Amino acid sequence: MIAAVLVVVLFAGGLSWFLVAKSNEPSFTPSDRNQDPSSQIAGVQTIKYAGGQHVLPTQQVAYTHSPPLGGAHDGYWAACNGIVYPNPVRQENLVHGLEHGAVWIAYNPDLVNADGVAKLASKVQGQTYIMMAPYPGLDQPISLQSWGHQLKLSDPDDPRIDQFIQALRLNRYQYPEVGASCAALGPGQFDQDNPPPFVPTPPTSDIDNKTVLDENVGNPAAANTDMGGGAGTGTGTGTGGGTGTGSGTGTGQ
C-alpha cells in the first residue's frame, strides 16, 4: 500500500514538473500578446524600415546590411512561394518579397556544402512565403532575413532556423504589406526561371539619387510599379530560446 502511494506521489510530482517546464518554454508563434517571438531567439538583429519605397529595375540601393533586411526595393518582387534559386538573385527584388511577409534564406556557396544546402532547401520547397538563394561574399555561412529582422549562423542544423521561420514568416505584426502576394510575376516583371542576377551592393558614397539610392528613400517614379495582391497565411513549429539583440532606425514613405 505504501509503495503504491509512493508511486502515485512520484508520478504526480513528475507530471507537475513536466507541466511547469512546458509552460516556461518560449513560444515562437506570433499572437496579440507575443507580436515578435524572434526577440526570444539569440542573435536576431532588428531594424525598423518603412515600407513602400520602390526603385526602378535599372537602379540599385546602397543597403547598409549584407544581406539587406528591408528598405527600398524593386517594384517587382522575387517569387517567394517555396522557391530555391540556384544562382544569386538581384537583392532589390528579394527585399520586396520580405515586405510581403516572406523569409529569405541566404547562404555563402563557398561555406555551405551540398548536404547543408539540401538541408536548407528542405525547409523551403513546398512551403509558402519563403525563398532561398546563394549570396556571394556573405560573412557567415547562413543568414536569415525577414522584414526588419536578420539572424546569421554557421550550422544548417541550428534549431534557430526553424524558430526564426515560425516567428517571422507571415507574422502580420512585423511586415508592411499584409495580404500581398508571393506568386511569380513572369517575364517582363520578374521571371523566376531567369531572374535578374545579383549585383554587389554599391557603397553609400555612390548615392546620387539617380542610379544609386539610399535604402530609406525610394524613387517617386517607381511608386506605382508594385503589382502586389492576394492573401497569405502560415504557421510553423519550433523550440528553443535565447535573447535577441539589435537596433536601428529607418525612414521613408
Q: How many domains does one find in the chain?
A: 1
pLDDT tens, position by position, 119-144? 999 999 999 999 999 999 999 999 99
Residue 13 in any domain: the answer is: no
134, HSE (Cβ side, Cα atoms, 13 Å)? 16
Residue 184 in any domain: the answer is: yes
Contacts for 187 with CB less than 8 Å, ≥ 6 apart: 194
Give the model's confidence band at 12: pLDDT under 50 very low, under 70 low, under 90 confident, else very high: low
Residue 6 in any domain: the answer is: no
Provide the domain limits for residue 42. Answer: 36-222
Between β-strands 45-46 and 149-153, what pairing exists: parallel, antiparallel or unpaired? Answer: antiparallel
pLDDT of residue 251: 35
In the predicted model, what is the mean pLDDT of residues 85-90? 98
Rounded-to-integer distance, Cα 158 and Cα 165, Å:
12
For the entire predicted model, the pTM comes to 0.80
Q: Which residue has the cell 530560446?
A: 241
Residue 1 in any domain: the answer is: no
In the predicted model, what is the mean pLDDT of residues 90-98? 98
Judge whether residue 242 has pLDDT over 60: no
Residue 233 in any domain: the answer is: no
